[in-house]
Amino acid sequence: MFEVISVDKAREKILQYLNKKKIEKVYFSEALGRVTAENIYSPMNLPPFSRSTVDGYAVRSSDTIGASESLPALLNLKGIIEMGKSSDIAINSEEAMGISTGGMLPENADAVVMMENTDSFDDGSILINESVASGENVIWEGEDIKSKELVLKKDHVIREQDIGALSALGILEIFVYKKPTVGIISTGDELVSPEEELTPGKIRDINSWAIKACVEKAQAIPKFYGIIQDEQDEFYETLTRSQIECDLVIISGGSSVGTRDLAAKTINDLGEPGVIFHGVSVKPGKPTIFGLAQDTPIFGLSGNPVSALVTFDLFVRPAIRRLLGLKPYDESEQVSARITRNLSSKGGREDYIRVSLTRKNDGTLEAEPILGESGLIFTLVEADGIIRIPQNTEGITAGESVQVFKRGVIK
């Protein structure tokens, strides 16, 4: 009915069309998990002054040479440095100032002696019981980062510590790649919303809600367009609107040949280049459609929920990740396991099989296949992951190691 292409080829075509990332400015503390769209440089030295890392006495290290418990150095206490205040007094030879952890070193001081290695007397004299080297118990001005140095590279995924660093430098706004808005359309005359009562012949919409969750987990912003009827005008009107309002559109449903053809036709009607491929050599997910309408990528996924979620993982998630500035695949979403049974596969296509995983005593994982129609959502509720049987094999043998794409927490 249509020419199918391989999974790899399909993904390659998708990514080839997804290279226009949008950029936005965000407040630094809202940037967790986002990707920098610029090199960020430091506007200042951090710390902005030399600081003590201990409670004790700021000294000139040269005054402590040779000092020990049996032969302490005698210094005069010039005062106490208050936390958060400038130390506008300089110390001279044989002078010390009291300082707390984080306090600003007075001028001429180059080391701090820890409190426990000193004795202080009422007359303002201090005995120093150890020799300290220049820089001891001190963080120098600019030791953490210097003015104009690179803070975060472009295309960096922002973590908790990066937010701390931006705060330290007073960098309040940064440019990151924009979260794509993803339009979600379900089609099918038999579908109703989950809050509606069922009448005979109707079923509740699964895909809109499962796909919304997938979109959110992928860090994009879902936008619902509801359930549309399998009818040309409604397809055209809804796709036109969503293509203008969204960065990416997912239509799900249309398991019948007529609906699939209608989806493909409408994508073509919306303008060049239209449908890029229609049909992938994968099970489940063969009737997957990918196209572009006025530059907006549009995915047509099967109405079968298992098929829709497998093809979301294979094709839509890499596309969303590309728009977010992330690499298309997240390897931490994969684990290895030993398959418990032989699984045959038809040559010339990739098979994706739902599995439940069990942790064995030796720490390794065992994957038990869950078979069943791709229309049965509970086969996926029971599953902990999905394994791939590559295109050019005749299946896999019990005991073989397989790569599992996680779909939930592994016990």
User: Least Å distance between CB 394 and a copy of itself?
Assistant: 25
User: DSSP character for 231?
Assistant: -
User: Least Å distance between CB 88 and a copy of itself?
Assistant: 8
Q: Three-state secondary structure along 130-197?
A: CCCCCCCCEECCCCCECCCCEEECCCCECCHHHHHHHHHHCCCEEEEECCCEEEEEEECCCEECCCCC
User: Least Å distance between CB 25 and a copy of itself?
Assistant: 15
User: Least Å distance between CB 398 and a copy of itself?
Assistant: 25
Ramachandran class of 135: left when φ > 0, alpha when ψ lies in -120 to 50, beta otherwise: left
Q: Which of 31, 89, 20, 81 is nearest to 56 (CA)?
A: 81
d(CA 33, CA 216): 13
The kind and range of the H/E element at 308 are helix 305-311
Question: In the complex with a copy of itself, which residue's Cβ is closer, 66 or 201?
Answer: 201
Question: In the complex with a copy of itself, which residue's Cβ is closer, 103 or 300?
Answer: 103
User: Least Å distance between CB 112 and a copy of itself?
Assistant: 12
User: Least Å distance between CB 216 and a copy of itself?
Assistant: 6
Q: Rounded to 5 degrees, what angle do the CA atoms 389, 395, 399 make?
A: 90
Question: In the complex with a copy of itself, which residue's Cβ is closer, 55 or 269?
Answer: 55
d(CA 135, CA 61): 8
No. of helices (H) and no. of strands (E), the chain = 8, 28
Question: In the complex with a copy of itself, which residue's Cβ is closer, 202 or 241?
Answer: 202
Rg value, the chain, Cα:
32
User: Least Å distance between CB 272 and a copy of itself?
Assistant: 31
Question: In the complex with a copy of itself, which residue's Cβ is closer, 79 or 375?
Answer: 375
Provide CB contacts within 8 A for 88, sequence distance 6+: none
User: Least Å distance between CB 159 and a copy of itself?
Assistant: 4
Question: In the complex with a copy of itself, which residue's Cβ is closer, 6 or 358?
Answer: 358
Question: In the complex with a copy of itself, which residue's Cβ is closer, 73 or 225?
Answer: 225
Note every long-range contact of 87-95, with CB atoms under 8 Å and residues 24 or more positions apart, other chains counting.
87/58, 91/58, 91/59, 91/60, 93/60, 93/63, 94/63, 95/59, 95/60
User: Least Å distance between CB 71 and a copy of itself?
Assistant: 27
CB 380 within 8 A of CB 367: no
Question: In the complex with a copy of itself, which residue's Cβ is closer, 191 or 292?
Answer: 191
The kind and range of the H/E element at 112 are strand 111-114
Q: Rounded to 5 degrees, what angle do the CA atoms 350, 354, 359 make?
A: 125
Question: In the complex with a copy of itself, which residue's Cβ is closer, 105 or 280?
Answer: 105
